[in-house]
Amino acid sequence: MTAPIAVTCGDPLGIGPEVALAAWVQMRAAKQALNAVFLGPTALWERAADLVGLDADARAALVIEEPNASLDDYGAIPEIAAVATAVHGCLDGRFGAVCTGPVHKKSLLDRGFPFQGHTPYLAHLCGLSPEEAVMVFAGGALTVALATVHRPLRAVPETLTLRDIVWAGKAARDLLVQGMRLPEPRIAVCGLNPHAGEDGALGDEEQTRVIPAVAVMQRQGLDAHGPFPADTLFPAAARGRWDLVVALYHDQGLIPVKTLDFGKSVNITAGLPIWRTSVDHGTARDIAWTGNANSEHMVSALRMAQRLAADRD
């Protein structure tokens, strides 16, 4: 039997708990029962169960666990303790994958948490450097890996490295091959500048970093090509020409993903010894605990976690 999915609560002031339980109920109703353990303060999950309107049968089947605050230096932050418990459980085989509720980055930073969100923290918990965790969005018409994530746009041309591009392509390729059973995915890499630099007329980053990175990927056995102008690459990928697009900065990749696949696309962390999925939206504190949150995105994230956990088995 596939190990259960660890579901973390996310920001206590956000929509994570309610959409997680609403999605769980929705999957049960559709005969797609999810074997899950919900990690976070019990009172938080019980409040969400009241809001969602769980009946007696659902409450009896619900598995809630208080996270182990001693696993990490930041265990006093409940949503972080839940993540640490989930990751350690994945590493020791107790959980098959983790699906995280969205966290509020500014709130965490204000409480002394030094990581810019889940992705680098997951790498830290796995004993890896932050750069080894790659953000991938999949599940809809596009599959996109980000070579850089939360870097200010003005810093991207200065800090983007050949390694960033190669590792994003390799980690995402491994996710598709090992987690989704897609042999030999076709990979396209975006250019950084308009028209992919137009042979150096609009910038030299393509010549100095992107073209060499593609060559390295090819030498490593990846079916990689590029760089291509992003404005023509994404339509071609959406029509099925490419299995994976490597975008060089956050909005280059996420604008097309969220335009075409919002609700279907799932945030997956590649490059780690565990599988982690999450929703493709934030905490939505403005509508949290009102009963108006849409659970469609969490259903997609939970289904993807199930799929990855089953493939790992």
pLDDT digits (tens, 9 = 90+) for 293-303: 999 999 999 99
At 232 the pLDDT is 97
At 312 the pLDDT is 62
> Which two three-digit tokens encode residue 298?
């969490």
CATH architecture, domain defined by 1-133+272-313:
3-Layer(aba) Sandwich (3.40)
- pLDDT digits 0-9 by tens, 2-13: 899 999 999 999
pLDDT at position 313 over 70: no
Give start-end residues of each CATH 3.40.718.10 domain in the chain: 1-133+272-313, 134-270
CATH architecture, domain defined by 134-270:
3-Layer(aba) Sandwich (3.40)
- The three-class DSSP label of residue 178 is helix
Q: How many Å separate Cα 92 from the centre of its chain?
A: 21
CA distances from 266 to 4, 196, 227, 232, 257 (A): 19, 27, 25, 23, 10
- pLDDT digits 0-9 by tens, 238-294: 999 999 999 999 999 999 999 999 889 999 999 999 999 999 889 999 999 999 999
Query: Do residues 243 and 136 make contact, with C-beta atoms less than 8 angstroms apart?
Result: no
For the full predicted model, state whether its pTM sits above 0.75.
Answer: yes
Closest CA to 20 of 92, 86, 75: 86
At 244 the pLDDT is 98
Burial class (CB in 10 A: 0-12, 13-18, 19+), 232: exposed
- pLDDT digits 0-9 by tens, 24-67: 999 988 888 789 999 999 999 999 999 999 999 999 999 999 99
Q: How far apart are CA 268 and CA 266, in angstroms?
A: 6
Which pLDDT band, with edges at 50, 70 and 90, does 15 fall under? very high
Alpha helices in the chain (DSSP H): 16-29, 42-52, 56-61, 78-91, 105-110, 118-125, 156-159, 162-174, 205, 211-219, 230-238, 250-261, 296-312
